[in-house]
């Protein structure tokens, strides 16, 4: 990278980055990418996944996932509710799910072996959507841009800043692999935060927050001696179950109020 471009990139990054407060009150460093670029990265990663994976043609499964996602989305901040959320179910036995900026949600059919009912599926998807509304993807990219290995990304952003469109930036990011960039493993701090945010959202949507505990117990049982891939970068399962059990009673009034207000999902 030419010295002048590197200097311009670093300057642009320093100007763009800012601190904000996450939904749990944690200080975050964000701003390394614009929301438009972030949404485009999410769309590209989702398109790449759909091109590589076999989509489920089971109408009932697809409707089930869409129903749960829609119920959760109705509880999100206004800017997230305005997004046209898109879901996809992939034929894959690995219990896995993800949500991406721009309103993209993917679920493997294997998740149905551990999410035994709609409340447990809501726990999975609430957790994943929690990553999005907590700006975890933006936080990770911003952090990566501040490292030596992120200089290539930094150069692409600088190019976008000096006259290229957001789509051009995404194209340059694509050479690094949008999936690899936006689907990077979350930190354990982010995972714990997504648990808290997701359990809160599911309660607000009328899903039983106690079922988040059952979901993770099922995940552990399904893994046996080998943890599912989805758990590989997560906090210790025993600790996370303990934390979900701790938080569930305080969320029961929220859940009960949601049900009384008419939030009674009937997804399956």
pLDDT, tens digit, for every residue of 162-214?
A: 344 444 444 444 444 444 555 555 677 888 899 999 999 999 999 999 999 99
Asked if the structure places residue 169 within a domain, the reply is yes
Is residue 142 within 8 Å of 2, Cβ to Cβ? no
pLDDT digits (tens, 9 = 90+) for 82-92: 999 999 999 99
81: pLDDT confidence band, cut at 50, 70 and 90? very high
Asked if the structure places residue 20 within a domain, the reply is yes
pLDDT of residue 210: 98
Asked if the structure places residue 202 within a domain, the reply is no
Number of domains in the chain: 1
For residue 139, indicate whether it is catalytic. no
Asked if the structure places residue 212 within a domain, the reply is no
Asked if the structure places residue 207 within a domain, the reply is no
Asked if the structure places residue 167 within a domain, the reply is yes
**∠ Cα 154 164 152 (to 5°):** 20
Using CA atoms, how far residue 18 sits from 9, 104, 162, 174, 244, in Å, is 16, 25, 20, 25, 31
Asked if the structure places residue 219 within a domain, the reply is no
DSSP-derived secondary structure letter, 83: S
**Helix 118-133 and helix 211-223, axial crossing angle in degrees, nearest 10:** 100
Range of the domain at 176: 1-185
Three-state SS for 164? coil
The active-site residue out of 48, 79, 86, 128 is 128
pTM as predicted: 0.79
Mean pLDDT of 41-50: 92
pLDDT digits (tens, 9 = 90+) for 4-35: 444 455 445 545 567 888 887 888 878 877 88
Asked if the structure places residue 229 within a domain, the reply is no
């Amino acid at each position: 990278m030419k010295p002048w471009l590197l200097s311009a990139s670093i300057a642009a990054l320093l100007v763009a980055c800012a601190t904000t407060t996450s939904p749990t009150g944690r200080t975050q460093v964000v701003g390394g990418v614009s929301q438009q670029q972030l949404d485009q990265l999410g769309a590209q990663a989702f398109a790449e996944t759909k091109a590589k994976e076999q989509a489920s043609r089971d109408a009932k499964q697809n409707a089930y996932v869409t129903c749960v996602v829609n119920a959760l989305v109705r509880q999100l901040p206004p800017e997230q509710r305005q997004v046209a959320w898109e879901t996809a179910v992939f034929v894959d036995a690995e219990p896995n799910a993800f949500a991406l900026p721009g309103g993209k949600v993917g679920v493997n059919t294997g998740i149905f072996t551990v999410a035994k009912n709609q409340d447990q599926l809501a726990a999975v998807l609430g957790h994943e959507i929690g990553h999005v509304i907590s700006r975890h993807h933006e936080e990770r990219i911003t952090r990566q841009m501040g490292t030596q290995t992120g200089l290539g990304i930094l150069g692409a952003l600088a190019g976008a800043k000096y006259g290229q469109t957001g789509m051009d930036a995404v194209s340059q990011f694509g050479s690094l692999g949008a999936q690899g960039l936006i689907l990077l493993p979350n930190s354990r701090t982010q995972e714990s935060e997504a648990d808290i945010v997701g359990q809160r959202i599911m309660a607000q949507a009328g899903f039983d927050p106690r079922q988040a505990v059952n979901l993770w117990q099922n995940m552990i049982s399904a893994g046996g001696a080998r943890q599912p891939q989805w758990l590989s970068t997560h906090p210790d399962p025993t600790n996370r179950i303990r934390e979900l059990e701790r938080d569930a009673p305080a969320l029961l009034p929220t859940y009960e109020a949601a049900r009384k207000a008419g939030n009674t999902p009937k997804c399956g």
